[in-house]
Amino acid sequence: MVTTLANEQGGRIQNSYLPMEVEHAQAIARGEEVFRRIKMGERWYLTAFRPIFYNDKVVGAVFVGVYEKDMVGIKEMFNHKVYYESGYPFLVDATGEMIIHPTMEGQSIGQVPAFKQVLEGREDMGKIKYPWDGKMKIHYYGYIPKIEAYVVATVPEKDVSIIRDLFSKKTYYDTGYPFLVDATGILLVHPTYEGRSIAEVPAFREVIARGDTVGTVKHMWEGAYKVQQYRYIPQLDSYVIISVPEKEILASVSHLRNSIIVFVLLSIILVLVINYFVTKSIYNGIARTISYTREIAEGNLNACIDMDQEDEIGTLTKAIEAMVSKLREVVRSISMGSDEIAAASQQVSAGSLQISKGANEQAVSAEEVSSAMEEMASNIIQNTMNALQTQQLSEKVRSMISSLTIAGKKSWDSINEINNRITIINDIAFQTN
């Protein structure tokens, strides 16, 4: 191996070997990429090897190593993580040496019974509980094969117990439940998988990829579709997730739909019943009012109605009663006026008798005048006939005069003609002489 890493003397680390019996050397020879934490000199490095091929054969490898003591970014990320009130994460290698820890970095917990059990079991993820510094703590761990180390989140049991007790009392629909998972995917509180990692579960990866603080995802889990509502809690750097089988939500929606249908039907029935009684009340009021007005129309102004309704029908009835009361006063006034008119009529009747007597006397005088008028009419008719006869005679005379006038004119013309001829004869005679 030839590297750019500096040794303790300040020179480059070179001419070192990877024995073929070492597992990661065999993996490189097989053409596999290798990610390991290895010791080079006196230092530990996080390393990556990528094989170099020539004619389909491995002839070497490109190596990249990061001195784990220089993992400032990773340390800062770990140091900023706080679970609940005093929980924190740390990184420990497969031998039990603390790689990143707030107070025990470089120390070994390989002989701690609980962690020794983890190392011997070689489980990918899980949780252990044991006393530490006088407190019972819960450790959630996940193994990272590429660096042969464990990421561990340690939390005082009392902090977890409070949330666990709170979550255990919560049930959504029939079998839905809440759980708590940190931003790395470790289940901090869960009914059955507490301590496990869901970092590779598609639904969790989708949540992380979205980057939002509130949302909903749906995914297949244990043979059933589940709907999960999540909310990010910055103080815990974790997500509170509520998981509910989709079929239970649909069943609830169906139940709600049925409840709404029943409610609507009951509401319709109630409205019909209320409408019936209201209509009946209105109808009875209108019927009584119609009967009352009909009696008034027939002339019974003494009719009355007992209506104590405070609605529009009652208001209408009161208005009609007020109108009838006014009508009674008008009729009473008319009746009094009629009596006065009757008395005056009697006086007029007496005067009429006197006038009738005088009219009879006038009638007799009129008959006498009528007889005289008839005689005058007879004389006028006779005079008219005489005048007509005179007119006829006048017409005859006028006709005769016209005839005489015409004959006279003709005679005059003849005389003139004779005179002219005599004149001509005289002229001839004079010339002859």
Model confidence pLDDT, tens digit, residues 333-355: 877 877 777 777 777 677 777 77
The CA distance from 433 to 428, in Å, is: 9
> Whole-angstrom Cα distance, residue 99 to residue 45?
11
242 and 95 in a common domain: yes
From start to end of 97-191, where are the E strands? Answer: 98-100, 125-132, 135-144, 149-156, 177-182, 187-189
Per-residue pLDDT tens digits for 396-415: 767 777 776 786 677 677 76
Please give the tally of structural domains in the chain: 2
Whether 169 is in a domain gets the answer yes
| Residue 375 tokens, joined | 């005689």
Going 51 to 53 to 58 to 61, the CA torsion angle's sign is negative
CA distances to 18, 23, 355 from 61, rounded to whole Å, are 11, 15, 157
**Do 107 and 232 share a structural domain?**
yes
Q: Would residue 218 count as lying in a domain?
A: yes
Does a structural domain hold residue 406?
no
Long-range contacts of 47-52 (CB under 8 A, 24+ apart): 48/146, 49/24
Domain match, 219 and 90 both: yes
Assigned domain for 44 exists: yes
Nearest to 70 by CA among 36, 45, 104: 45
Q: How far apart are CA 44 and CA 82, in angstroms?
A: 27
Distance CA 288, CA 204 (A): 76
Q: Are 59 and 180 part of one and the same domain? A: no
176-200 CB burial, b ≥16 within 10 A, e <16? bbbbbbbbbbbbbbbeeebbbbbbe
Has residue 13 been placed in a domain?
yes
Residue 155 inside a domain? The answer is yes
pLDDT number for residue 1: 67
pLDDT in tens, the chain (433 residues): 667 666 667 777 667 777 888 887 888 889 998 887 777 666 777 788 899 998 889 888 888 877 766 567 778 878 888 777 778 888 888 888 888 888 888 888 888 887 887 877 777 778 787 777 777 788 888 888 777 788 888 888 777 777 778 888 888 888 899 998 888 788 888 888 887 888 888 888 899 888 888 999 988 887 889 999 999 988 677 899 999 998 988 888 888 889 999 999 999 999 999 988 888 877 777 777 777 777 777 777 677 777 777 677 777 777 777 777 777 777 778 778 777 777 777 776 777 777 777 767 776 776 776 777 777 777 778 777 877 777 777 677 677 777 767 866 776 777 677 667 667 766 776 676 5
pLDDT given at position 433: 59
Claim to verify: residue 151 and residue 18 sit in the same structural domain: no
Which of these three, 43, 70, 97, is where a domain ends? 70
> Which of 210, 225, 250 is at the close of a domain?
250
Residue 90 and residue 137 in one domain: yes
Q: Which two tokens stand for residue 143?
A: 């193994």
| Domain extent for 38 | 2-70
Q: Are 63 and 80 in a shared domain?
A: no
131 and 157 both lie in a single domain: yes
Residue type at position 352: S
In a domain, 390, yes or no: no
Residues 225 and 83 grouped into a single domain: yes
Residue 242 placed within a domain: yes
Is 94 found in the same domain as 196?
A: yes
- Chosen domain end from 186, 220, 250: 250
> Which CATH number characterizes residue 191's domain?
3.30.450.20
Same domain for 186 and 229, yes or no, is yes
**Whether 127 and 230 share a structural domain:** yes
